[in-house]
Amino acid sequence: MQLDANTLFMVTMQVEVILGLLLFFVWAQNFSKRALAWWGSAYLLRAVSIILLGLHGSVPDSLSIDFGNAVLFASFALTWSGARVFDQRSPEASLSLIGVAIWLVACRLPVFAAPEVRMLLGAGIATTYTWLTAYEFWRHRDEELVSRWPAILMLFAHGAMFLLRTPAGPLAQPAADDRIGMSGWLELLSLEGLLFTISIAFVLLAMAKERGESHHRVAARTDALTGIANRRGFLEQTTLTQRSADDHRPVAVLLFDLDNFKTINDRYGHPVGDRTLQLFAGVAKAQIGEAGTVGRWGGDEFIAVMFDTSREIAATVCERIQLAFEKAAADIDGRLVGATVSTGLAFSGGHGTFELPALLLQADQALYRAKEDGRNCIAIAIPEMRAAGSAESTPARVVMLHRRNAA
C-alpha cells in the first residue's frame, strides 16, 4: 500500500495542532490545571517536529532529521514533565531534556551515522520518555482516579510499539521520492500512533476533569477553616463506616464545645478565634486517629464517633483531648488565651442497632450538663434501662467526670 507522505504529514500535523489547542483551551478555563498547558505545548511541539520531518529532501538533514527528531523528543519530555506537574511534583526541566541532548550529540558522532543505529537510539529515547510518563501516573495510583489506569496502560503499550518499529526501518526518515512504502506491519504501527495521539489526549482531559470533580466533592465535605469533615462530610463518613461495621459493636459519640468561645473572639479578634478552632481540630484528630471520625458540627462545636470501643476508652480519649487542647491553646500567637473545652459523651454499649440521632441527643444532653457544671469537664450520658414492652424512648442519666473546672 502506498501513502502520500505529504498528505500523511498534513493530517497528522493538523491533529496535533487541534488537540494541542484543545488542551490549552481547557487550561485557560482553569489555570490551576497547569499540567494541561504542558501537555498542550507537547502536542504543538510535536506538530513542529512533523513539519520539520516533512521537509526531508527539501532542507539539509541536520534540520529535518536531526533537529526534527530532537523537537519530537522534546515533546515527549514535555509530556513527562506534565505528568509530574499533574501529581504536584516539580517538572525537572533539566533532567527531562537529557534525551534531547543525547540525540543532538549522537548526531555529530560518526558512530551514529548509520540510519539503523540512529533508529535504535531514537526508539530508545522515545520509549524511555513514554514509559517515564506511565511511571509518573503509576506511582500516584493511590489517588482514586479511574482514568489514570487507561493512561498507564496506553502509555506502556505505546512505548513498546516504539521498540517494535526498530526492525522495520529508520525512525521518521521517509524515502527521497516523498513516498512511504508501507507494509501491512508498518501500516498497523502508523495507525496505532495516530490513534494513540488522539485517544491519550482525551484520557488526559478526562484525568484533569476527574481530578477537578474529586476536589469539588472533597471541598463540599470538608470544613475550609479546620481541614476536617464538615457536618455533611461527617454524616456521610459515619454512615459508610456504620454500613461496613457490625451493628452490635459498641459505639461512642463525643460532642465538644469550646468554652467561652465568643469571649475569645471578642477579646482577641477573629484570627485568634480561628486559630483556636484549628488547634482543637488538630488535637482531636491526632488523639482519635484511626479509631474514629472527627468533624466540625458547626460554629465552635465538634463531634466524633468511635466504633468498637468501650466507655472507659472513650472517656480516656476525651480527657486526653482536653489536656492536649488546654496545653496547646494556653498561648496562641503570643496571647494568653487559655481556651478549654467541655465534652458530652454518649455510648451505645453494642446492645442494639447504632442510631446516631439518638446517641447525638444523649451526648448533647451530657454536653449541656458539662457546660452548666462549670465547663472544662466531661459528662457521660448513661441510658436507663427501659421497661419491658415500653415504646417510650430510653432516658439518659448524666454522670459527671471532672478533670478540673475552667477558670
Sorted by where each starts, the structural domains of the chain and their CATH numbers stand as: 2-220 (1.20.1070), 231-401 (3.30.70.270)
Confidence at residue 176, expressed as pLDDT on a 0 to 100 scale: 44
pLDDT surpasses 80 at 358: yes
Please check the confidence at residue 4 and state whether its pLDDT lies above 70: no
Q: What is the pLDDT of residues 317-340, one digit of tens each?
A: 999 999 999 999 988 888 888 899
DSSP 346: E
Q: Which long-range contacts (CB under 8 A, 24 or more apart) does 193-196 make?
A: 193/158, 193/161, 194/12, 194/15, 196/154, 196/158, 196/161
pLDDT in tens, 133-152: 999 999 999 888 999 999 99
- Per-residue model confidence (pLDDT) at position 288: 92
pLDDT exceeding 70 applies to what percent of the chain?
82
Pick 25 or 385 by higher pLDDT. 25
C-alpha cell of residue 116: 539503523
Worst-scoring range by mean pLDDT, 220-229, 246-255, 318-327?
246-255
Of 192, 182, 197, 200, nearest to 162 (Cα)? 192
Q: What is the pLDDT of residues 187-204, one digit of tens each?
A: 666 778 888 999 999 999
Q: How confident is the model at residue 407 (pLDDT cuts 50, 70, 90)?
A: very low
Which of 74-88, 101-115, 157-171, 351-365 is predicted least confidently? Answer: 157-171
β-bridge mates for residue 252, sequence order: 306, 347
Query: What's the pLDDT score for residue 397?
Result: 61
Of the candidates 70, 26, 64, the one whose C-alpha atom is nearest the C-alpha of residue 46 is: 70
pTM of the model: 0.73
Amino acid at the residue 165 = R
Least confident of 69-78, 222-231, 267-276, 346-355: 346-355
d(CA 287, CA 323): 11
When pLDDT is averaged across residues 241-259 and rounded to a whole number, the result is 77
If you compute the radius of gyration of the chain from its CA atoms, what whole number of angstroms results?
32
- Mean pLDDT value across the chain: 84
Spatial contact of 195 and 11, defined as CB atoms under 8 Å apart: no
* Whether the predicted pLDDT of 58 surpasses 60: yes
